Chains A and B, each alone.
Chain A
């Protein structure tokens, strides 16, 4: 089959690789119909995630049809149209049973990297480096899905492929960001980053009762989409001082909830010196992640407010304003998405018209154009929100 493989920093190639096979009794093989790029893929392509190996197939957000199933798969059948949650759970360990499947004890077959770096290992993730299990990703014609009964969800009738595919990753990530922040009626929520995840966080915050949601970005098309599609007020951080603007908009209190939908490659165009400092430290390895958004959230958030972090961080950060966080009594919530907990609820929101993520798919391309597509996505060219590959043509 064809697959989009990572071969080194900024070196993506479309290659012929063997088809995947059933290995374990709870596996299924999915024929991929749609597979989306994701902002967190850029950290892999840029070489910030250290355990990538040449030949790794990337991609973790996908929809397709089950073409083979292992003998122990109970709830799914050949021919089912499914999405698969990008973060793999086993369905049985304590974490999976308590709705924290991204912390699964069993789905990462390669736990030593994470245990060494983090103390404990988290779940396996499709196409997301060997620290997260080394699973082959979905930018391919076929993909093996382990523990399929737990990770794959049948798409309900009446929900199109274009709406459903994002329930794999972007929608539950955004929804979880809003959900774990404990939004209460009347809350003002600020969301840093208006990519796919940020926009889904904005919509979810409203669904969960936020009074106002403020989206922060610097790309005009994203700010426009956040305004038009999910009803955010918007701020362009390259033009205004975010702290001042947020205080002005909230009567000097600051937002009740601040959501980070950016992660480790944040830039702070509003503060060139800080950005240069972070980039320099990152370049010589004295920190792995750029914390510009985190610093801004801690400063801007109201006293006693909540920071909810779904942007991906990999390692260490420097100049973390712990004093501000502690003295302001902030609560931090964070984590990779637990999509298994949300998939049914999200399909319900899509079915009754509360949520329509299909507009995120600004480009639909064959897999052969993978390398160029990622370039366009990274440069945010052509108003690209998300490229979705159709590997079957």
Chain B
């Protein structure tokens, strides 16, 4: 077997050092009735590299890749061009095959990268501090709610109807077991957000208000008034960002007063990957840092006075606090954070702003063309690179008819909100720098044909 270096001679020499006759002498603690002897039914034996590649290649070809044609899906995962050097660098074995930096003297590469990532994320989201990443945006969102409860000692979380329904679904699952009370609902097909209503609903029982920016329908709004309302009642404002590229063009939630900003960093550097692994972003005001979940990398000095980095504030963590830990997380998304950080370094502020402008410009152009299709209108009064089309018919079958014409034309609200018939005519369309003028024209033409 190509991954196993021991020879038969090695094995017998080692057994004699151990003082065992056969390998099964080492499994003596396994009761005989639990031992598995012989082959496992229905599982194949070892295969060559070529054979495995052939099998997996055949499965891969049964998927329609985003690059195979016009592609307009968003709703929490975005297709952006990732420079070739990002994937090249993350495949360096010293990054790819390293473990958690428990021994800082020989893990400064990972640690410095995490410190840079934390600094980039804090600046991007407009907050004081960020951690070294979470599993993904949806779990980060839930962890933020739990953190707000720890800080405020209140249990009622108000969710904007514009928060991604899967994020809400995760929160709903967890709240059943933690006792948090969630106030949530589906969005209405109106141009503006529900944030004014939320501001009015904040009361002394409220631990936090959770809003998404841009929201699930692509709408953007100023959260300053909501932040003030939260502050007045002692609640925290949690902002969720699923498309961080937007923050190259529009104000950051932290700048507008959000206390905790969480996000999905997949847009930058990571790629679509059918939903994971992604990279959860988690940032907050400095005063809450000791209540933050996840890993943190901090600057310090070594015994010779040289600057260095270590994992820090670990007294919040599961391996020390056991059942009193701030969360049970012991893994982050280190490699995805690295991809994010490299891509962000390549972009720089100038590149990020330009990328954001191109996204917005293309989305405006696409919205203009798509709105000309008879019967179609655009819901949003403001958007970044994603907006909601209102179709004259249910959007779900339209999506499938478009796919038959080889156009992946957005995410239907029917798929996101299957129980809500009032939303079924909505189609959420994302337009990034990867969408060309031809793609947009083909989409508009196909939509016209399907709706005719």
Question: Do A and B share a complex?
Answer: no
Q: Which residues of A contact B (CB under 8 A)?
A: none
Q: Which residues of B contact A (CB under 8 A)?
A: none
